[in-house]
Amino acid sequence: MEEFEDDLDYDFEDLKEWAGPDLSAAVVAQDRDEEHLAALTAGVRDQDAAEDFLDAWRDDVGAGDFESDSYEGFDIWVDESGWDETSFGLSGDFLVVASSEDFLEEVIDGINGDLEETLADDEDFQAARSALSENRFASVYVVYEEAASYLDRELYWGLPQPPVAGLGPDPGWLAASASWGDRSLAAELVLPSLLEHSLEFPDLDVPAGMVPEDAWFLISAAFDPDLDNWRATLEEYEIADVGGDYTIDELNDGIESLEDELDISGLPTASRRSGFDFFIDLGIAVFDEWTGIDLEEDLFDHLEGQLSVAGWDFSLDEYGDIEEDHPPSVAILLAYDEGGEDTLADTADEILDLLQNEVDIRFEEVDVGADRDALVHYPED
């Protein structure tokens, strides 16, 4: 930073004298053969101090040949050197930096309320804005297709097409924000397809009363245990949209290899129209063919949709590492419907038998004062 300040002959501590609390940036898409437009605006508290900063900045540009003018109450400076069209505008309230003189004037018109249509009038932007927390101090809004095109064109890499619910091949737009809470910082991501979905999440009941007082972490999450709701949410996102027909062929080849490796048969195969719900059915079929356990009927149908993980009780050696003979105690708590207790107990017994027979992990029954004995695995030394 000191080297940068020396190059500019400017002390960045002086930013405090003029920079206001508001800062924003925008990129506007153009035709494929035209440069994208970009602008940055910053609040101004002291116009003279801000102009001193601009003087130092323009002097450092070197190749720039800035001509001064005025436009709609703003002092403006436009680079006439031919290298680019970087332009600055300054008023008592705002500093604007734009990639061209025309775009600078358009942003100034927006500040003055003279534009007929602005981003604030866009329905997608309004939906994104209403979905974010009201007490945010920072936010980002991106038109996904335009951002992907820009990155592919300018940086030679594109945005990924992640195979996750709510994102799909083209989510249209996405928005993110950050907000302060009581001794906390919260971040959120909003996607249009997540505004409406088929999932039902239970109210989270953090089981703090079930873990020791000296627990050093407790993670709790609610989820929808109804796999039909997940199918309805995921089916509209087609696998082929991510990697094309080649992905389907590779997936089916992998399923065939898995059948050979596990000595099973009857697994479903993907079609050109298969959505990501296919992976739910594939996973259930693999486990069923391999173990005889139907994860949907024998497990998920009896869960309430709450999972917690807690850790406590460990010791560090003189070097600050966890002692091998005293590792952390970790508990995984999975809430279930009492009506399905017997079915879940049978499922747990089958899974434990599988572990003992296939992986050679042995368990001992231990009376821990509960309705059922606990099954405990004691690692061998």
| Cα Rg of the chain (Å, integer) | 30
pLDDT for residue 63 is more than 60: no
Q: Where do runs of H (alpha helix) occur along the chain?
A: 2-8, 15-18, 47-61, 101-111, 123-131, 144-154, 227-234, 240-243, 245-262, 278-291, 295-298, 341-354
Residue 363: per-residue pLDDT: 82
Residue 203: per-residue pLDDT: 87
The token pair at 187 is: 């971040």
Q: Where do runs of H (alpha helix) occur along 155-308?
A: 227-234, 240-243, 245-262, 278-291, 295-298
Residue 55: per-residue pLDDT: 82
Segment 93-106 shows an average pLDDT of 92
Confidence of residue 164 (pLDDT cuts 50, 70, 90): very low
- Could you read off the pLDDT of 296-349 as tens digits, one per residue? 999 999 999 999 999 887 766 666 676 677 777 888 999 999 899 999 999 988
Domain assignments of the chain as residue spans, ordered by start: 2-116, 123-194, 208-336
pTM above 0.75, yes or no: no
Residues in contact with 51: Cβ distance below 8 Å, sequence separation at least 6, in sequence order: 75, 90
Residue 165: per-residue pLDDT: 39
Q: Which residue has the higher pLDDT, 29 or 278?
A: 278
pLDDT for residue 191 is more than 90: no
**Which amino acid is present at 283?**
G
Q: Which residue has the higher pLDDT, 169 or 108?
A: 108
Q: How far is the C-alpha of 89 from the C-alpha of 76, rounded, in Å?
A: 4
